[in-house]
Structure 1
Amino acid sequence: MNAQPHYNDAPYTILIFIIMITLSFGRYSHLLLTGMGKNSLWLPGIVFLFVLLGIRLTLATKKNDNHPYFKLLAPIHDSIIFLYFFGLTFYFTIVNADFYSNVFRMGNPSGMFYLGITFTILFALFPLKAHARYAKVSLIFLLPIFILILFLQFFNTNWLWIFPIINIDEIKTPITSIASVFYVFAPIVSLQLINAYNPNVKKVTLTVFITTIFIILLTYLSIATFGIEYSKKLIYVTYSGLNTIRLERFMFERIIFVPLLIFNFFQILTGAFFLRFCSLYLSKVLRTQFNKFLIISNGLLILLISKINMSPFYVDKLLIILGICTFYLINIKPILILLISKR
């Protein structure tokens, strides 16, 4: 039997909220806006309904785990999930390095990538309960400031720039935009692992709903602050919108440095979350116990791949691939399981 971490005691919903909000600060918003225009305001809500359906279907398939077909296909399934979380870890680390380099001006992307994957490996060695505990404490300090920034940003907006909300002419690449939104819901795939511990469905659903509202609000504020045409030119449009608020006018600059550190911690936490699940499914593929050696090995493998190829392909194309895989794992796979189990 594989040793599986006990996630039932950890505040899993807090991790979902933090990781989804962190992912929303990445490059997904650029693909969303360039592909859908002002229609980007309602698209996350549509995707949320699909995710909600997927959560229900995923938990409904729990009783079918012992079906002979699924036992036979278990190695293939575990290999697919392993590659999925490996791709998430790899992509997020690359984007995170680019974010540090081009937004915070902290060095070249390669150096930030090596530094980022090092911290990701180190933090992934801690159990998920430790992740959740530190994240909960950090969120207590960051959330009030985050809400304050959102409130102040309303004073920089032009309501007329968001209309018309539905404009068919602005829809250019809907598949790319939909896939980019599904990428933000990637943490929901981990439900397929913890469903054995009976997570509170209402809490998970409420958390995902609240997070979706925040994502829609961030998209609205970006369009209402810069206008749709200028927003399309910004790679990290969500962060650019929040950065228009100069908090040093209201508080000391040293205090402002604290939320930035917490946000950096959340970025490391997100990478460590993906890396830990990646290593867990590798243990299932290899039929061995989950251990720290697997985490370190996966981290070193990511470093090796980055040395071989760091082409721009990963920046845009890989996000689309991961988004499509997220849709398959959340919605299509549970439906296939239910159909097969009825035969």
Structure 2
Amino acid sequence: MTDLMNIKQSVNETVGNLVRLIQAETVNPPGNELPAILIIKDILEKAGFPPDAFNIVESAPNRVNLVARIKGDGTERPLLLSGHVDVVPVEREYWSHNPFGGEVLDGVVWGRGALDMKGFLAMYLQVFLDLFRQNIPLKRDVVLAAIADEEAGFTHGSKFLVEQHRELVNAEYALTEGGAITYYFGKTKLYTIQVAEKGVCWLRARAHGKPGHASIPHSENPVFTLAQALEKLRQAGHLPVHLSPTFLKMLDVASAQIRSPLGSLTKLLHSPVLMGILIDRMKGDGGNILRALVTNTISPTLLHAGSKVNVIPSVAEADIDCRLVPGQTPEDVKREIHK
């Protein structure tokens, strides 16, 4: 009963810490992780961590990282628990709850960052606190890193720590975000363990045309040219399928849990051609997730054209977010787009 009570207490504390982290507006861009880092500092101090047990390092004004350490006996190299505190911007008018309110309703915590990734960080923080409070003997140091700038290129976070404070985060193993999400495979629930991260490649598509006054339309408007190019990307549906050995192993392990013809049929999905057909036919979130697992993805996100409503511009541009399957390169995705 004591263990169950402790678990309930830890869960409640995790939720409370997550609510505080969500309420800290750490939108990136422009980037300001300081409010969340100060919350974590406050939590550690109230738990009894001495000042020399954690470091706060700043790469630029308000771009801060916190690294805390519980020492082991040193027979094994450290374990790193890493989570970023910055979040992407919000469009408040599309939210049914305050994105920075941290409301808890029907057992669900609402807010920007609840999933990506203040929720994970709150859990890592709780593990860290429980290890400290219970004074558990450890063979290796356990390091907690609350980092900046994951959403906009790592310059002020992971990259900064590795290049300028490597001794703080050097570890044998590291856990960060990804996995631990419920997937449905038929009627079977799967909880995945993520072992790799897709790479990122940001491209800009640019169309040139003939400028002029909007009162005299013509066919050389670069906005039309750009729109046609983006429509071709949409109609393509997805780029070529890439089945990594890790993905295929996950597929086999998952299919072994299913006691139905569906389990044996999954072997057919070792074929990139059949996987591509399945992606084309699947609808909704399931299809979107599968597509992201086995293809390089492309998402137009920002559009730029013109300076006045009554002037046809000479240039129209679209920024495109590409995510690369492990093993793929920016040159690979550019070649696939050009095809």
When normalised by structure 2's length, the TM-score is 0.23
Higher relative contact order (CA 8 A, sep 6+): 1
Query: Rg: which structure is higher?
Result: 2
Instruction: Looking at secondary structure, tell me which structure has more helix per residue.
Output: 1
Instruction: Looking at secondary structure, tell me which structure has more strand per residue.
Output: 2
When normalised by structure 1's length, the TM-score is 0.22
